């Protein structure tokens, strides 16, 4: 009589965006041949999000063109789209879904990313557009008609990119921002003033140093944004672009540090009060982890490159914990991101916000093509390029050497 076949072990990946996709790919690459189940609250397969606030918002959103191609290695991965995990139990090694069903796991990947932050206003959420998903972008684009009065709350990257798109579509755009310049938090005043100048050249109006106290409107939609000084910004469309918050609510009760995302050790295992859970990893936007090039300080990095940067190393860490023997890989990424506004590209390497108090022009003129260096204690910690595409690799290597 043949021996009974051993039950297949399972890794559950919670989150079906780019981080979840890269995790599945890298788990296969690390030698995991058993079950991988990806659970995603979105109904769509993993797609590229950056275009949603850039060209796609102007030209129209074609999901087919921004959906990531599935590789042969992940053809047998089970995708459960449109389902939401509501809780996890690390002790029982199980997750619970919104329909109250449970799934057990041998390994767990936390890849739930972030959600758009919301202001504590009484105004209906239906009046306040966000741009996080393809459905959000499609809904907003229908309202960006020529002549529409658009008020954008927040002058970060999302707010500025949406403003550029809306202005290009013929809208009248005003941005309300509590800081002294756009992009003040991530890139400081010097970059912020140049970004503001470029927007104003395209007709965008700024109300800086102001917060939003209320939004007025009718059943048909918003009519005015009320600022803290009592002034009114008449509007037809409101976009809320006030940052993001890590999707960690479903992890509560497991003794994790969820202060800002999921605090992880250098192997991407979530840190608990008693140490760490070897059979669990976190990666992508939701993870806060030690970055080698910054002396192992822990950061949560919301860049498009973060899922790819973290997936290979984290997946090998989990595969080792589950008995595979993947090749050892180094982890020393250079954080990077880019923004495109009015056809001009802004590229960043490192963590410029750490050196926003000491910014130096390294090359050229940022009003056209130029490079800025951000320094902390005299040491280069970030580089921002306005245009200058042929210099990107050079300054990336300079930064890597300076922070090694």
Q: What would the pLDDT profile of 47-97 be if each residue is shown by its tens digit? A: 999 999 998 899 998 999 999 998 998 999 999 999 999 999 999 999 999
Distance CA 354, CA 374 (A): 8
The pLDDT of residue 3: 46
3-state secondary structure of 194: helix
Specify whether the CB–CB gap between 39 and 325 falls below 8 A. Answer: no
Least confident range from 181-190, 269-278, 356-365: namely 269-278
The pLDDT of residue 402: 82
The pLDDT of residue 161: 97
The pLDDT of residue 7: 65
The pLDDT of residue 333: 87
- Strand runs labelled E in 178-293: 205-208, 212-218, 221-227, 232-234, 237-240, 244-246, 262-263, 271-272, 275-276, 280-282, 287-291
The pLDDT of residue 275: 80
The pLDDT of residue 6: 55
For the chain, domains (ranges, CATH) are 10-115+245-321 (3.50.50.60), 118-242 (3.50.50.60), 343-403 (3.30.390.30)
Over the chain, what is the mean pLDDT? Answer: 94
Distance CA 385, CA 363 (A): 9
- Strand runs labelled E in 41-93: 78-81, 85-89
pLDDT band at 2 (very low <50, low <70, confident <90, very high): very low
What residues does 290 pair with on adjacent strands? 298
**Stretch 252-260: mean pLDDT, rounded?**
95
Specify whether the CB–CB gap between 150 and 171 falls below 8 A. Answer: yes
The pLDDT of residue 400: 87
3-state secondary structure of 321: helix
**Stretch 3-11: mean pLDDT, rounded?**
71
Distance CA 379, CA 359 (A): 11
What confidence tens digit (pLDDT) does each residue in 184-222 have?
999 999 999 999 999 999 999 999 999 999 999 999 999
The pLDDT of residue 1: 46
Distance CA 386, CA 384 (A): 7
Helix (H) or strand (E) holding 189: helix 184-201
pTM of the model: 0.94
Distance CA 373, CA 362 (A): 6
Q: Is the dihedral of CA 114, 320, 289, 307 positive or negative?
A: negative
Q: What percent of the chain has pLDDT over 70?
A: 98
Distance CA 98, CA 95 (A): 10
Question: Is the per-residue pLDDT at 110 higher than 60?
Answer: yes
CA angle at residue 257 from 252 to 263, to 5 degrees? 120
Q: Is the dihedral of CA 105, 40, 51, 289 positive or negative?
A: negative
Least confident range from 5-14, 68-77, 320-329, 380-389: namely 5-14
Q: CA of 89: how far to CAs of 76, 279, 286, 387, in Å?
A: 26, 12, 18, 48
pLDDT band at 328 (very low <50, low <70, confident <90, very high): confident
**Stretch 28-56: mean pLDDT, rounded?**
95
Distance CA 194, CA 213 (A): 28
Question: Is the per-residue pLDDT at 237 higher than 80?
Answer: yes
Distance CA 361, CA 214 (A): 40
């Amino acid at each position: 009589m043949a021996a009974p076949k051993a039950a297949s072990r399972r890794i559950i990946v919670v989150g079906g965006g780019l981080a979840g996709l890269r995790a599945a790919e890298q788990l296969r690459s690390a030698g995991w041949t058993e079950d991988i189940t990806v659970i995603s609250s979105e109904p769509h397969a993993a797609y590229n999000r950056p275009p949603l606030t850039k060209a796609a918002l102007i030209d129209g959103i074609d999901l087919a063109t921004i959906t990531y191609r599935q590789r042969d290695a992940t053809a047998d991965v089970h995708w459960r789209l449109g389902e939401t995990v509501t809780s996890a139990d690390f002790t029982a090694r199980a997750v619970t879904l919104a329909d109250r069903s449970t799934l057990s796991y041998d390994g767990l990947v936390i890849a739930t990313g972030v959600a758009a932050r919301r202001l504590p206003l009484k105004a209906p959420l239906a009046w306040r557009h966000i741009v996080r998903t393809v459905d959000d972008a499609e809904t907003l684009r229908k309202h960006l008609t020529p002549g529409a009065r658009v008020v954008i709350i927040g002058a970060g990257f999302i707010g500025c990119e949406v403003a550029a798109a809306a202005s290009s579509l013929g809208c009248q755009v005003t941005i309300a921002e509590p800081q002294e310049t756009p992009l003040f938090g991530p890139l400081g005043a010097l970059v912020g003033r140049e970004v503001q100048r470029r927007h104003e050249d395209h007709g965008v109006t700024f109300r800086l140093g102001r917060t939003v106290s209320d939004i007025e409107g009718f059943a048909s939609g918003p009519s005015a944004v009320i600022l803290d000084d009592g002034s009114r910004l008449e509007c037809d469309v409101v976009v809320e672009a006030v940052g993001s918050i890590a999707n960690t609510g479903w992890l509560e009760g497991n003794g994790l540090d969820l202060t800002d995302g999921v605090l992880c050790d250098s192997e991407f295992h979530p840190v608990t009060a008693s140490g760490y859970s070897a059979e669990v990893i976190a990666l992508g936007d939701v993870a806060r982890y030690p970055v080698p090039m910054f002396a192992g300080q822990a950061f949560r990095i919301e860049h498009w490159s973060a899922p790819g940067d973290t997936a290979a190393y984290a997946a090998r860490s989990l595969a080792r914990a589950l008995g595979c023997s993947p090749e050892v890989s180094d982890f020393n990424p250079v954080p990077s991101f880019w923004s495109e506004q009015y056809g001009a590209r802004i590229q960043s390497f490192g963590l410029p916000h750490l050196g926003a108090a000491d910014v130096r022009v390294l090359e050229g003129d940022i009003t056209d093509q130029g490079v800025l260096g951000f320094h902390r204690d005299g040491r280069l910690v970030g580089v921002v390029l306005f245009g200058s595409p042929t210099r990107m690799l050079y300054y990336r290597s300079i930064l890597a050497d300076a922070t090694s």
